[in-house]
Amino acid sequence: MAHPMFVKHQDLLASAVHAIESRGCWSPYRDELADYGGEAAVEAGRKAFFEAYPDAQFYLDQPGFVGRGGGEVSPYGVTLNVSYPKCSADALIATAKAAVPTWAKAGPDVRAAVCAEALERLNASSIELAFATMHTTGQSFALAFRDAGPRAQERGLEAVACAWREMKHVPYRATWEKTRGSRTPLKLEKRYTVMPRGVALVYSCATAPTWGSYPGIFASLATGNAVVVKPHPEAILPLAITVAHIRQTLKDAGFDPDLASLLVDTAEAPVARDVALKSDIGIIDYAGRAEFGNWLEDNVRDALLFTEKPGVTCIVVDGASDYVAMLDNIALSLVTNSGQRRGTPQAILVSQQGIHTPSVTIPAERFGPDLARAIGRLVEDTATACELLGAIRSPATLAQLAALAETGETLRASEKIVHPQWPEAQVRTPLLLDVPADAGDVWMEEQLAPVAFVVATPTTAQSLAFAERAIREKGALALSIYSDNENIVQLAEEVSLRTGTTLAINLTGTVLANESIGLSDYRASGLNPAAHGCLGDAGFVAGRFVVVESYRNG
Amino acid sequence: MAHPMFVKHQDLLASAVHAIESRGCWSPYRDELADYGGEAAVEAGRKAFFEAYPDAQFYLDQPGFVGRGGGEVSPYGVTLNVSYPKCSADALIATAKAAVPTWAKAGPDVRAAVCAEALERLNASSIELAFATMHTTGQSFALAFRDAGPRAQERGLEAVACAWREMKHVPYRATWEKTRGSRTPLKLEKRYTVMPRGVALVYSCATAPTWGSYPGIFASLATGNAVVVKPHPEAILPLAITVAHIRQTLKDAGFDPDLASLLVDTAEAPVARDVALKSDIGIIDYAGRAEFGNWLEDNVRDALLFTEKPGVTCIVVDGASDYVAMLDNIALSLVTNSGQRRGTPQAILVSQQGIHTPSVTIPAERFGPDLARAIGRLVEDTATACELLGAIRSPATLAQLAALAETGETLRASEKIVHPQWPEAQVRTPLLLDVPADAGDVWMEEQLAPVAFVVATPTTAQSLAFAERAIREKGALALSIYSDNENIVQLAEEVSLRTGTTLAINLTGTVLANESIGLSDYRASGLNPAAHGCLGDAGFVAGRFVVVESYRNG
């Protein structure tokens, strides 16, 4: 008899597989707050959040308890001080390992359905997740809601759909019967079982804790692995809520909740490196800063490894059919989440031959000041500015921002905005600098602070060559091109294909070059240093399980 | 308009995809010599082979020519002395890299069809490939025909089918249209392109040069990569013939033949390590001895790596419904190809509680002598013995065989058989030794010589525990169990699932525990040290390509 969760979710899974093969706009998770109860629900959620969490002990019934830890401080100035159970990594791994055989035996349908159920419950908690994400990452509520809620859930479902499709390609059994002329046929009865690698480790980051980790968490669970989630010590809460939901779902489905656990550490006593090298870890997913990602790439031997690092996103400006719409889109991408969003454009390469528009060629030197004004328009109204910018998460980022001011000619200084509700929040507009193309040590370095560089180049072909060099050396997930000349767009497409970067062409409106939507967009490629592979494709899931065969004479 | 090769092969490709999803007995490549013209064709092929090859200069119009090399000696005593063009690895890689963009643009259908055409041509050359394999590996003609011909081609087609299926899951384009209440819908036009990693390197081994390398060669070509084939210096000819056919097929299909090339080196001046670390190598496939495989695993950083090493295959003997049929099957697996076949059973673990049969329990101490007699029956007739055993390929193997005689109590000594047609061939029957279970330094070490150890254990449960230890420490592709007790079979299945080894249950007849047939069997898993992954599944192909996306406002 089919598991009740599979009965409940099989149509959803089939639709999700259709979605990953057609890649249009489809999602079971609505992304308008109105669909979640609107302002009233947000207000109720805010109240509930501040009643539930500050100074609370987050409950997770995990093995290997050694004490409590935590101590997150909201970038909006609220001391959350939630404490989480700290558990020994060895205990979490050992318990997870012991739970794997039963989970493996449950088979692809049940596992995919349990994952879908967990995602449905997370979706119902999107407002709670939004507040948890807002007060750990510094994102504004509206952005946190979308990214930590439906957008993250879509990415999780995409991974489940990819995994389910691949596992369903494997038959349960086969009769192999070979005729041999007049002799008795050779006959074998074969059985095939999908088996997981074992225990997976997922690192979540401080800027997109759920969005960045759901693909790995759900890809590994769906393929029969257990998952230990190691959150960034400054953004634990969104993952604690996530793991709690997954554990409860596993339990309700009749499985061991220890298949998913939270490994909490502190900045003072980090465990991130130790745990990566433990021999029972079969898969590692990491999304975050290049430094630790590179360390994993250099040191992890036996585990399957997926890293995703921000790299340097370039925008090449050659021309525009609507100059102002281009400026507005670029400005919006720089302002959104104070550039702390992974892959925020950092270098804008403009040919000295000017910017071609249908009516005139705009002199290159006008571009920087025009972009500065476009940023100014976006942040003119304080309320809107705060919604877009959110708060700077880390004091280190502020220090970096101050230091960067000297590295180029200022096109627009970073301004401090006083948040009307949260006066302690560090709200800053992006710094816009003009730097020469040969200052690659500045504009080609991964900057975490909200800064963008306008880089003058001799020609657009040179701009593309500089962008390609940045991608090859530093990595990138995306490249953006503005041109009304299809030959130039074609050249950019060739750079994109060669380097494995998503190409955004002539974007206007509210879609950003560093956006990537689950069930439609393939994110990252593994063809440049920004990533080891791609989210949302077969390669992301297929190595997480193997097929083990047995056969006997038939 | 569809490419003519796709028109020709699209039905074959569809059938192959059906085969990998149903895993029954299907192959487009017949495996009876009668289907290739029988004895007359063999005779004609033999004559043609000896007219064409000894002392010949093998022609391959490759770039970077620096001289000629080769000098293979047949294990049957014929000095082949074929010389091959030696080309600079850098030149081969650079030319391959330059050819990739056009090959990538050709798309999945055309590439899969070109691979199918190359396999069809290789199939038509199966007799030639059989002689080339016989006179480099030492396999008898009959075995060489099957393994280097249809069996290798099936494995190649399986890889093509897996790759084609995965690439076809990716849509070419999508319209992403998001309704937003009363506002204008957001609309994006997206394009998705399958892109290869770049240049792939495939190492072929000296014992199964085509069988072991076709999966990697064809998986990489089908996914848009170029392939540099580095054959073992003592078994170049089968790969030279293979690469020549692939190059001609590429040319006939309108592509650059340098997408496939042969990198010849000599034992005196090996290039295997240098080339593995070159930055332009994106994928490496290796099948062969553990030593070099481990080196690759320790040293390769940036390339996607697939290794397959023999490890230690165990047979656990608990009981049998037909004792003699069991002995005959085990004996056949030891005799076939003098144990030089990858994964030949090496340790036969027998419980001291005896062997359960429907009528009586046979005392454990009878097993060794009975197996020795079963071997004796198989090699009694010299002609049959030579057909089964083939010739020992390497003098080192003979030396190892001599040294091993002292490591246990002899159950059956290795005999020298004089080959009626090839008196210089080193034909040897397998050595059968009795060793205690605690002599793991002998029976648990990967032995290349034709030797098997009968290992006495207290119970069958202990036998399974020893086998599991051997698999975990040394790796294995397969495990074989003989028992008429389904509870014991169940225990063995659990070991097999836990360790990712194919389980052969109560095999009798001519199917061997270390056999693995393309389009039906999944070979290797990556769950134990014998391999990094599995042949014939999505994980083997999916990482060889990525999806690169571009989008613009719609």
What number is the average pLDDT over the span B296-305? 91
Six-digit token pair at B362?
């046979």
Report the residue from B22, B25, B543 with minimal CB separation from A171.
B22
pLDDT tens digits, A464-481: 999 999 999 999 999 999
Query: CB-based contacts of A269: which residues, under 8 Å, 6+ apart?
Result: none
Nearest C-alpha of chain A: how many angstroms from B321? 12
pLDDT tier, A301 (very low <50, low <70, confident <90, very high otherwise): confident
pLDDT at A534: 86
Rounded mean pLDDT, B129-141 = 97
Contact B543 A522 (CB under 8 A): no
Judging contacts by C-beta atoms under 8 Å, the chain B residues touching residue A533 are: 543, 546
How far apart, in whole angstroms, are the C-alpha atoms of residue B493 and residue B500? Answer: 10
Contacts B181 to A, Cβ<8 Å? 32
Helix boundaries (H) for B169-222: 214-222
Cβ–Cβ gap B301/A298 under 8 Å: yes
Q: What is the pLDDT of residues A193-215, one digit of tens each?
A: 999 999 999 999 999 999 999 99
Test A548 with B525 for CB contact under 8 angstroms. Answer: yes
Does the pLDDT value for residue A322 go beyond 90?
A: yes
Burial (CB count within 10 angstroms: exposed 0-12, middle 13-18, buried 19+), residue A21: middle
Nearest CA in chain B to A496: B548
d(CA B383, nearest CA chain A) in Å = 22
DSSP string, A355-368: EE-SS-EEPHHHHH
Is A297 close to B298, i.e. CB distance below 8 A? no
* Residue B177 C-beta-side C-alpha neighbours within 13 Å: 6
Residue of B536, B482, B507, B484 lying closest to B336 (CA atoms): B507
Q: Are B415 and B169 in contact (CB under 8 A)?
A: no
Residue A177 to residue B25, Cβ atoms within 8 A: yes
Give the pLDDT of residue B267.
81
Whether B520 sits inside 8 A of A174 (CB atoms) is: yes
> For B493, which of A171, A174, A550 is closest by C-beta distance?
A550
For residue A123, pLDDT beyond 90: yes
Percent of chain B at pLDDT exceeding 90: 91
Q: Is the Cβ pair A171, B537 closer than 8 Å?
A: no
Handedness of CA B475, B479, B485, B491 (dihedral sign): positive
User: Rounded CA gap, B62 and B257, in Å?
Assistant: 9
pLDDT level of residue B535 (50, 70, 90 thresholds): confident
Residues A48-79: pLDDT tens digits? 999 999 999 999 999 999 999 998 999 999 98
The token pair that represents A190 in the structure block: 């074969």
Strand blocks (E) in A354-438: 355-356, 361-362, 409-412, 416-417, 427-428, 431-436
Output the six-digit token pair for A227: 């998952």
Whether the pLDDT of residue B532 is over 90: the answer is: no
CA B413 to each of CA B369, B377, B410, B428: distance values in angstroms, whole numbers, following the listed order: 12, 14, 6, 10
Nearest by CB: A522 against B192, B496, B510: B192
Please give the structure tokens belonging to residue B506: 């109560």
Taking the CA of residue A405 and the nearest CA in chain B, the distance in Å comes to 34
Measure the CA angle with vertex B182, ends B179 and B185; round to 5°.
30
CB contact under 8 A, A537 and B188: no
d(CA A284, CA A300): 9
Interface residue of B23, B175, B532 to substitute, partner A, most A CBs within 10 Å: B23
Contacts of A542 in chain B (CB under 8 A): 537-539, 542-543
3-class DSSP string for A144-170 = HHHHHHHHHHHHHHHHHHHHHHHHHCC
Query: In A, which residues are within 8 Å of B507 by CB distance?
Result: 552-553
Q: How far apart are CA A355 and CA A372, in angstroms?
A: 16
Choosing among B537, B540, B541, which should be mutated to test the A contact, i.e. which has the most A CBs within 10 A? B537
Distance of alpha carbon A321 from the chain centroid: 32
Q: Measure B460 CA to nearest chain A CA, in Å.
A: 19
> How many interchain CB pairs under 8 A, A with B?
202
b (16+ CB within 10 A) / e for A61-100? ebebeeeebbbbebbbebebebbbbbbebebbbbbbeebb
The distance of B551 to chain A (nearest Cα, Å) reads: 5
- DSSP letter at B150 equals I
Distance of CA A490 to the CA centre of its chain: 28
Residue A535 has a pLDDT of 83
Q: How much is the pLDDT for A532?
A: 84
Q: Tell me the per-residue pLDDT of B308-356, one tens digit each, with 9 for 90 and over.
A: 998 999 999 999 999 999 999 999 999 999 988 888 999 999 999 999 9
Give the one of B23, B190, B511 whose C-beta lies nearest to A192's C-beta: B23
Interface touch A546/B539, C-beta < 8 Å: yes
Burial of B11 (0-12, 13-18, 19+ CB in 10 A): exposed
What percent of chain B is modeled with pLDDT above 70?
100
**Chain A residue closest to B553 (CA)?**
A507
Preferred mutation among A167, A188, A485 to probe B, highest tally of B CBs within 10 A: A188
For residue B174, give the nearest of A192, A508, A520 by CB distance. Answer: A520
Task: Determine the residue type at A459.
Answer: T
Which residues in chain A are closer than 8 Å to B188, comparing Cβ atoms?
A: 511
- CA pair distance A276, A297, nearest whole angstrom: 11
Q: Exposed, middle or buried: residue B9 (CB in 10 Å: 0-12, 13-18, 19+)?
A: buried
Measured from the Cβ of residue B99, the count of other Cβ atoms closer than 10 Å reads 20
Of A493, A498, A552, the CB nearest to B506: A552
User: Over the stretch B43-93, which tens digit does the pLDDT of each residue have?
Assistant: 999 999 999 999 999 999 999 999 999 989 999 999 899 999 999 999 999
Q: Spell out which residues of chain A touch residue B521, defining contact as CB-CB under 8 Å.
A: 190, 549, 551
Contact A514, A508 (CB under 8 A): no
Strand, coil or helix: B163: helix
Q: Which chain B positions have a beta carbon within 8 Å of A178's beta carbon? A: 25
Tell me if B177 and A508 make a contact (CB, 8 A cut-off).
no
How far apart (Å, rounded) are the C-alpha atoms in residues B16 and B523? 17
Among all chains, which residue has been given the structure tokens 């077969």?
A538
C-beta separation of A63 from A77 below 8 A: no
Q: ipTM for the complex?
A: 0.96
